[in-house]
Structure 1
Amino acid sequence: MEKEQFERRKKVINDLMHDKTYVPMKIKELAMVLGVSREKRGELEAVLDELVSEGKIEVSKRGKYQIAKSHLLTGKYTAHVKGFGFVEIEGQEEDIFIPEESSGGAFEGDTVQVAVTPGRTGRRREGKIVRVLERGINELIGTYQQSKNYGFVVPDNLKFSRDIFIPIEKSKGAVNGHKVLVKLVSYGDQNRNPEGEVVKIIGHINDPGVDILSVVYAHDLPQEFPERVLNQAERMNVPVSEADTFGRTDLRDLLMVTIDGEDAKDLDDAVSLTKDENGWHLGVHIADVANYVQENSALDREALKRGTSVYLADRVIPMLPHALSNGICSLNEGLDRLALSCLMDIDEKGQVTGHQIVESVIRTNHRMSYTQVKKILADEDQDLAEAYADVVPMLKEMNVLAKLLREHRRKRGSIDFDFPEAKIHLDENGHPTEILPYDRNDATKLIEDFMLIANETVAEDFYWQEIPFLYRVHETPDPEKIQSLQRFIQNFGYYIKGDREEIHPKELQKLLAKIADSPEEDLISRLTLRSMKRAKYSPDCTGHFGLASRYYCHFTSPIRRYPDLQIHRIIKETLRGRMGEERRNHYEEILPTVAEKTSEAERRADESERETLKLKKAEYMEDHIGEEFDGVISGITNWGIYVELPNTVEGLIHVSRLYDDRYYYKEDTMEMYGVDTGRVFKLGQPLRVRVADASKEERTVDFELAYEE
C-alpha cells in the first residue's frame, strides 16, 4: 500500500474510533464497516498495528480494537550513541526505554510524545516515540566534509546520529576539516539526512584551541562581554577610598591570608583565626562583589545570564569581567578591599557557639598557594616557614581546627567522596603533555572546611530570620536507587541499615568507611554517588543530604557564582535594615527564577568541563598508542570492561578484544566471566592494559589486555 493511502486509512480509522457511536470491533467487523475486502485485510491489519504502536488505539483481550484509554506521555528524549535512548517524564522516577527502531526520528533533547509498549518483559518500561513536539537542538558544531556540489557536517555530538547535508550555497566557503556552527533548517526523515546552513566557521580542526572553542559553541557558552558591561566594570575598578569604608567594621589589622591555586587570579575568600580560653575565633572574609554589581545593572544581567564561571582545559570563561574578578573584587595581598565577613566562635567540640556577619574592610597579609601551605604544614619546609613566619602559628592552628570541623561533620553523617580529579598540562599549542591527579591535601581541605562552616552558619542565620533566601539543597536519594545499591553491595558482604524509604546519610558514610582500602572501594563509592540526586539551588531550605546539614547555602564565591552574589545582596539589605515588606516580596518573586537559571547554568558548565577533559585525555592517549599501563577495573557492562589509569584516564576493553574466551556479563554481580576458562573480571581488579586506540574526535580511549595471566 502506498504511503499516502496508508496515512489516509490511518486517519479514517482514528476518526471512526473517536466517534461517540463507535463500539469496539474485531478486525473482521472493522473490515466490513470500512469496506475492506478479504484480500486487503492484511493491509488493514498493518494500519491497525501502526496505530496501536503509536498508542492511539488498543486491543482488548478479546481482540477488539478501541480508542486507547491511556493517553500518550510527554517528556524529553535523551539519545545514546549506540542508537537507543530514554524519555524522561516529569514527576516520574523511571525513564522509558526507547529501542533504536522506535525513536520516531527524534534527536537528543527533543520534547516528544511516547506510547508505552504494553506487556513489557524487562524491568524497565519500554515505549515508542509517536510524535516530536519540539526540537531540542537548533544549532550544533561539527566538522565540514566537502564534495563537488555540496557538503556534509559530521556532528561533534555523537548523540546526534546523522550527518547534516549542506547545500554548497549555504556552506559560507567552508572547506574540508573546518569546524563549523550549523543551523538546522530541516531534520530529515528515514530517506533524507537533516539539512542545515553554516552560520560560522570556527577554525580548522588542526588549529590550536579550535577543539575547546568548539565545545564552547556547542554548549552556547557566552564568550565576549558586551561593551557596555566592560565599560561599567572599568568604571567600578577604582581603589578603595576612606569614604567607601564608612560604616564598615575595620578588620585591616586582623592577620589573614588567601590560600588558592598557584594560577588563581580571582581571590574571593580570605581566612583569619585567633584562639583564647573560650575557643577559636574564625573569620571567613568574602569579597563584597555586590558593592560593585548593582541589581539589574548591565553587569548584573550579564552575570545572571552566565550564572557561573566555566573552567575549561585551556581557558576560563568568567562570570564577571577581569576588571572586577581580577581587580577590585580580588582580595589581593596588601590592598584594602571591601568584604562581607562571617566571624564565628567555635568551641572544642567543633560547634559554632556564636557568630556575626558584618560588612567589613580588610587587607590580606599574604597571598599563599595550596602548595606552599601544604609544604609548611605537612612537609615542614623551613625556608617557607621563615618566609611566612608571621602567619605560620596561625596556619598550624587552622589545621587543628579544620580537622576538628571535619570530624564534627563526620560524626553527624557527612559523606566525603574523594575521587581524584585531573589536572591537564598543555603546551603552547594546547596539546596535552601531562595528566596528573589533583592533589587534595591538608591545605585544600582546610579551605574547604572553613568555607563549609561559613556557608552553614550564614544559611542557618537567615533561615531563622525567615527572610527570603537562596539555599543550596541536596535531596534524599530515591528509594529505588538505594535498594538497587543495597542489592549490589550484598554481593561483597556489605549492607545498609535504615528505613528503605528515607535513608540517613550516616548509613552511606558507614558504608564508605567499611569499604575503605578494599579492592571494591572505588566501584562502590562511584555507585553510591550515582544513587544520589544532584544538588541544586532553591528558595526553600530542604537541607543538604550529602553534608548531613539542615542548613546550607553558597556564600563564599560571589566572583564566580551568581547565587553567592544574590544572597550577598539580601544579607547587605538585612544588615542595613532595609528588608521591609516590599523588598521581601521582591525577593520572593525573583528567587525561584534565579534558582532555576543558576542550576541550569551550573549543569551546562559541568557538562562543558567534563567534555573538554574527555577530549584532552583522548588526545593525550593518541600519543601513547601501543604503550602499556597499570590500571584498575572501574566499570563492567555487557559490551566490555572499563579500566581507569592512575592519571584518571578511563578506557574501554571491548568484549570483542577479550580474545581468550567467550565472555558474558553477569548483571547481578557486575562481573564479566569466561564460558570455557572460567576467568572472571571484577570491579576494582588491577589490570595491565595496552592502548589499542584513541580518538580525540569521539572522546574515546580503547584498551586491550597487555598480557595473559
Structure 2
Amino acid sequence: MHHFKDKLQDDLLNLLKSVKKPLLLREIYHLLNLPKEKRPKVREVLKFLEAQNKVIKLKKRKYALPEQVSFLKGRLRVHPDGYGFVETEKERIFIPPRFIGKALDGDIVLVRIDRVSLKGPEGRIIEVVERKRKNLVGYLVKRKKAYFVEPEDPRIPFEIYIPKKRLNKAQVNHLVVAKIIQPTSEYGFPVGEIIKDLGDPLNLESHTWAVVYTYDLPHLWTEELMAELQKLPEEVILEDKKGRTDLTKIPFVTIDGENARDFDDAVCVQKTKKGYKLWVAIADVAHYVKKGSFLDQEAYLRGTSVYFPTMVIPMFHEKLSNHLCSLNPNVDRLAMIVEIDFSHDGEVANQKFYEGVIHSHARLTYTEVKKMVVDHDQETIEKYQDLYPMLDTAAELAFILREKRLKRGSLDFDLPEPEIIINIKGEVENIVKRERNLAHMLIEDFMIAANEAVASFLTQKGYPFLYRVHETPDINKLKQLSEIFLSYGIEVTFPEEVTPQFFQRLISQFSGKPYAYLFNHLLLRSLKQAKYTPENLGHFGLASTCYCHFTSPIRRYPDLVVHRTLKAALKRKKPVYKEEELEKMGKHLSEKERTAEEAEREVLKRFQCFFMKDKIGMTFNGIITGVTAFGFFVDLLEYMVSGVVRVVDLEDDFYVLDEKGIALIGQKTGKVFQIGQSVTVRVKEVDLRRFYINFVLA
C-alpha cells in the first residue's frame, strides 16, 4: 500500500513539474488517468505534500509547486481605510482588505502576487512570518462588566479583551499598553494583558510614552549594564591619559543649543602662516565602551538616541552621555582629535588623527556665538573676551569651507524644522521654526570637514567601516518630474548623469519664484534616503565622494563603529569589523534611524494637535504641501503645524485628482488646488484620539 502512495507522490510531483502551471483537482485526476475509487487517495497524498510544503494549494483548489508560485517576503503597511501594501526588496504589492487576514501593520509577511494591473502588482498575504508589534497602545474602556482596550492606531481593526485579573491596576480611560496573550476570546477579540498604564490621555507625557511603546523603543537599562557602569570611573583618571596628546591648554569650546545635554564635539581654530588650523575633538566613547560589552550591545540595539520635546531616550546611560563622555566645560575629557591644516582658500594641506585629552574652555550656545560673530554684540564679546578672537577666526574659516562646498554642488534645502516650546505647566506654548544661523552652519561645516577627513583616511588605509552614503537620484523618477515642470511651462531636461551641481542650479533657478516651495518639495522627494553601508557609494546631497559619520558617537552608533576602526588604523592593528558584518550592521542601523525619525514625527503630530485644540474656529494663512484624492495638506505660516482640507468639505464643486497627482481640479468650475498654492483656512476640528487636524477654506 505504501508503495502506491510513494508512487503517487512521485507521479503528482512529476506531473506538476512537467505542466509548469497550477492544476485543478479534476485536471490532476484526468491527467493521471485515475479511476473514481483512487481519488480520495490523491486528495490524501496532496494534503500530505501540502503539509510538507512540497505542494501549494491555491484558491479554487488549484495545486502548484512552490517554485511555480512566487512568494515574496516584506513588511506590511496598512492604511486606515483597510487596504495595505507589502514593501518587498523590489516592489510594493497592493493588498485588498479581504486578503490581509490576521496580519497587522508592521508585520513581516509572505505574499503571493495574484495579478499585475496597470497600477502595479496585487496580491494576498499567505502567512505572518514575524509579528513586529509586541505592544498595542490604546484606551482602556469598560462596557457592562468587561474591560477592553481600543487601539489608538486606526490601522488595527480589532479591540482587545482584558480579563479582570490581567488589568494590573490600570485605570479606565487611561492610555495603556497591552500585549496579546491569546488570539481569540468569547468576545471574538484577542485576549490581552495590560503591561503598563501610561496615564491620563490629556497629558503630553502620556503621549510621548505611548509612542515609545508603539515603536517598541528600548528604554530600560539591564542589571548587567548597570554593573558595567559601576566599574567606570566618575571622572577622567590619570592612567587613562597615558599615551595621549595633552591639548588641555588649547582653547576648545563646545557650541550647542540651549537645551543640549550631551556634548559630542568641541572645536578650536587658529590662523597660521599658510592659512588656518582646525582642531575637532570628539568624545572618545570607544575608550569606555568595549566591543561586545553590555553597554555596547544595548547601544547597538538602540542604534541612536531618540529626541522628544519633553525627554530623550539616550543610546548610552546618563553617566556616559551627560557626564564621562560629554565634553563639559572646565573638566578634562578624553577625545579623538582630527587636526586639519587648510590653505587660505580652504584646501586641505595636511591632516592628523590622534587620541588626546582636552579641557573645554566654555560651553557656548548658538545664540551667543551668533551675537558675537554676526551682531558684534559688545556685552557678549566682553563676557567671552578671551575666546572672541578665536571664534572670529573660526567664522572666517567656516565661511571659506562652505563656499568651497557649495561650489562643488553641495545641496542646501534649508527646510524649516519645527521646534516645540513647552511652558512650565508642561503644555505646548508655541511651535516655531527652528532657527538656523551662522553659528549652526559653522559647526556643521567643521563636522563635515572632520567626517570627510576620517572617511578618506580610512579608505586610503583600506580599513572596512560604515560609510554614510546618499545615492544619485533615480533618472526615471526625475523624468516624471520633468512632466510636472512642463505643466508649469518650465522645460527641464535631466542629463543622463545627474550631478549635485545640476540639482543645485535647478534649486537656485526656482528660488524666489511663487512655485519654489513646490519644486523644492518635489526635488527633495526624488532624492533617495541616506543610509549606512560598507560600500562607498558617495554622498550626493553633500556632493562628497567619501563620507562617514564620526562626530556624534554619544548619540549615533555608526559613529562609534568609525571610532573603533580609526583607533585600530592608528595603531596599525587588524580591522575591527569584517565587510559582511558591516553589511548587516548598516541595514540594522539605517532601519533604527528611520524608526527614530518616525517616532519623533509621531510625537510632533500629537503635540501639534494639543497645541491646536483651543484654536478651533480661528483663521490662518497657509500653503498647500500635498494633494491626495481625499483632500489636500496645508502647512500654516504662523505656526509650524499642518492639517488637511478634505474633499468632502469642499462643497462648491466635485474635485478630482489630476493624473500627475499635484492638483485637485473642480469638475464644473475648473477651480484648482495645487501644491505650493497659498490658502486661508479655518480650523474645523482637532481629533485627539486619531491625531488629525481638519481645516476648511475660510
TM-score normalized with structure 2 length: 0.88
Q: Do structure 1's residue 74 and structure 2's residue 94 form an aligned pair?
A: no
1:114-193 correspondence runs (5 A): 114-118=111-115, 120=117, 122-187=118-183, 192-193=188-189
Go from structure 1 to structure 2 and tell me whether the alpha carbon gap of 1:305 and 1:75 turns closer, same or farther (over 3 Å shift): closer
| Among 648, 663, 674, the residue aligned to 2:666 | 674
Aligned twin of 2:595: 604
Shift of 1:231: 4.7
Aligned twin of 2:393: 397
CA contact (8 A) 1:491 1:669 kept: no
Q: Which moved more, 1:644-653 or 1:412-421?
A: 412-421
Distance 1:692 1:17 in 2: 64
Q: Do structure 1's residue 663 and structure 2's residue 655 form an aligned pair?
A: yes
Q: Which runs of 5+ in 2 are unaligned?
A: 1-8, 37-54
Aligned twin of 1:555: 550
Shift of 1:299: 2.2
Q: Do structure 1's residue 98 and structure 2's residue 95 form an aligned pair?
A: yes
Shift of 1:341: 1.0
Distance 2:195 2:150 in 1: 15
- Say what the alpha-carbon RMSD is for the aligned residues: 3.1
Aligned twin of 1:422: 418
The one-letter code sitting in structure 2 at the alignment partner of 1:20 is L
Q: Which runs of 5+ in 1 are unaligned?
A: 1-13, 37-53
Question: What percentage of aligned pairs have identical amino acids?
Answer: 40
Deviations 1:565-586 (A, max 9, x none): 2221222232233x13xxx275
Shift of 1:319: 1.4
Distance 1:66 1:576 in 2: 62
Shift of 1:165: 2.8
SS in 1 for 2:120: coil
Shift of 1:57: 5.7
Aligned twin of 1:522: 517
CA contact (8 A) 2:109 2:126 kept: yes
Aligned twin of 2:623: 632
Aligned twin of 2:4: none
The one-letter code sitting in structure 2 at the alignment partner of 1:419 is L
1:266-305 correspondence runs (5 A): 266-305=262-301
Q: Do structure 1's residue 542 and structure 2's residue 533 form an aligned pair?
A: no
The one-letter code sitting in structure 2 at the alignment partner of 1:611 is E
Q: Which moved more, 1:619-628 or 1:512-521?
A: 512-521
Go from structure 1 to structure 2 and tell me whether the alpha carbon gap of 1:149 and 1:365 turns closer, same or farther (over 3 Å shift): same
| Among 445, 449, 456, the residue aligned to 1:453 | 449
SS in 2 for 1:125: strand
CA contact (8 A) 1:488 1:669 kept: no
Aligned twin of 1:87: 86
Go from structure 1 to structure 2 and tell me whether the alpha carbon gap of 1:233 and 1:522 turns closer, same or farther (over 3 Å shift): farther
CA contact (8 A) 1:142 1:156 kept: yes
Shift of 1:181: 1.7
CA contact (8 A) 2:464 2:577 kept: no
Aligned twin of 2:644: 652
Distance 1:434 1:296 in 2: 43
Q: Which moved more, 1:282-291 or 1:191-200?
A: 191-200
Shift of 1:492: 2.6
Aligned twin of 1:509: 504
The one-letter code sitting in structure 2 at the alignment partner of 1:76 is R
Distance 2:254 2:380 in 1: 16
Distance 2:587 2:344 in 1: 39
SS in 2 for 1:374: helix
SS in 2 for 1:176: coil
Go from structure 1 to structure 2 and tell me whether the alpha carbon gap of 1:349 and 1:496 turns closer, same or farther (over 3 Å shift): farther
Distance 2:11 2:690 in 1: 50
Aligned twin of 1:49: none
Aligned twin of 1:216: 212
Shift of 1:158: 2.7
TM-score normalized with structure 1 length: 0.87
| Among 404, 425, 429, the residue aligned to 1:433 | 429
CA contact (8 A) 1:146 1:175 kept: no
Report the number of matched residues: 663
Q: Which moved more, 1:238-247 or 1:308-317?
A: 238-247
1:300-311 correspondence runs (5 A): 300-311=296-307
The one-letter code sitting in structure 1 at the alignment partner of 2:423 is D
SS in 2 for 1:358: strand
Distance 1:360 1:82 in 2: 57
Go from structure 1 to structure 2 and tell me whether the alpha carbon gap of 1:118 and 1:25 turns closer, same or farther (over 3 Å shift): closer
The one-letter code sitting in structure 2 at the alignment partner of 1:662 is F
Go from structure 1 to structure 2 and tell me whether the alpha carbon gap of 1:669 and 1:293 turns closer, same or farther (over 3 Å shift): closer
SS in 1 for 2:643: strand
CA contact (8 A) 1:413 1:509 kept: yes
Aligned twin of 2:110: 113
Distance 1:115 1:357 in 2: 53
Go from structure 1 to structure 2 and tell me whether the alpha carbon gap of 1:338 and 1:65 turns closer, same or farther (over 3 Å shift): closer
SS in 1 for 2:258: coil
CA contact (8 A) 2:633 2:644 kept: yes
Q: Which moved more, 1:194-203 or 1:305-314?
A: 194-203
Deviations 1:338-382 (A, max 9, x none): 111111112233322210011111122221100111122222211
Shift of 1:222: 2.3
CA contact (8 A) 2:451 2:550 kept: yes
Q: Do structure 1's residue 570 and structure 2's residue 561 form an aligned pair?
A: no
Go from structure 1 to structure 2 and tell me whether the alpha carbon gap of 1:196 and 1:671 turns closer, same or farther (over 3 Å shift): same
CA contact (8 A) 2:215 2:595 kept: yes
Shift of 1:147: 1.7
Shift of 1:168: 3.6
Distance 2:226 2:131 in 1: 35
Deviations 1:19-41 (A, max 9, x none): 728979999976996999xxxxx
